Amino acid sequence: MHMSSNDIIEAHYSSRDLAADQLDNAEWAKSQPVTITHYWSGAEAPLGRQAEARLIWTKEALHVRYICNQAEPLVVSAIPQTAKKTIGLWDRDVCEIFLAPDPSVPERYLEFEAAPTGEWIDLAIHVTPEKRETDWEFHSGMTAAARIEKNRVLIAMRLPWDHWIHKPQKGERWRANLFRCVGDGTTRGYLAWQPTRTPEPSFHVPQVFGWLQFA
């Protein structure tokens, strides 16, 4: 399949593992930034809603960090809980990554989300022509962390390798997409690294996933 630099995320390899809350670790600067600048529709989002993501992989886990421009009030839970997954997290401000470790079956993928509060959720998804099946009991062992600053939010996830998400080999490629939800009501924005271009906002379109390359 043809690949261009516009649809490839390069994950930087680090010999040292990170904790989710190591938002300022020097390893992040060695990873190439991936910009999330457009809505799901393909229309460009305003600068105040755009974000960048960087990915690192180690012997133990995949790490994702988002730096999000924040030019509007946060839409977050007043009483966040981080001890377990938060169902419905996608209705508030959140960053997401969808991963299909088997690129031959992109319709089977894993969904990971984290919010500015540090709340998180992990799900296993199977999209069929008839419906979308969700494994709500999926447990990846993911951890998340976040920090709210003036005019920006940092969000990170640590996704450990296991039987669901196998440790890759150098040069391996998976299918993936990155998203950000921001705002509320009629002005809510649904940003996608690879726009899904559905009639209504939807991220669950595996056929438009880009590529994650383990460098």
Give the other-Cβ count within 10 Å of 5's Cβ.
7
Which sequence spans correspond to the domains of the chain? 5-11+27-214
Please give the model's pTM, rounded to 2 decimal places: 0.96
Dihedrals phi, psi of 69, to nearest 5 degrees: -65, 140
Give the other-Cβ count within 10 Å of 64's Cβ.
30
Classify residue 167 by its DSSP letter. Answer: P
Q: What is the pLDDT of residue 2?
A: 36
Q: How far is 207 from 39, CA to CA, in rounded Å?
A: 17
Tens digits of pLDDT across the chain (215 residues): 333 468 999 999 999 999 999 999 999 999 999 999 999 999 999 999 999 999 999 999 999 999 999 999 999 999 999 999 999 999 999 999 999 999 999 999 999 999 999 999 999 999 999 999 999 999 999 999 999 999 999 999 999 999 889 999 999 999 999 999 999 999 999 999 999 999 999 999 999 999 999 99
* Side-chain half-sphere exposure of 169, counting CA atoms within 13 A: 3
Q: What is the pLDDT of residue 4?
A: 41
As its CATH architecture, domain 5-11+27-214 has Sandwich (2.60)
Q: What is the pLDDT of residue 5?
A: 60
Q: How far is 97 from 66, CA to CA, in rounded Å?
A: 10
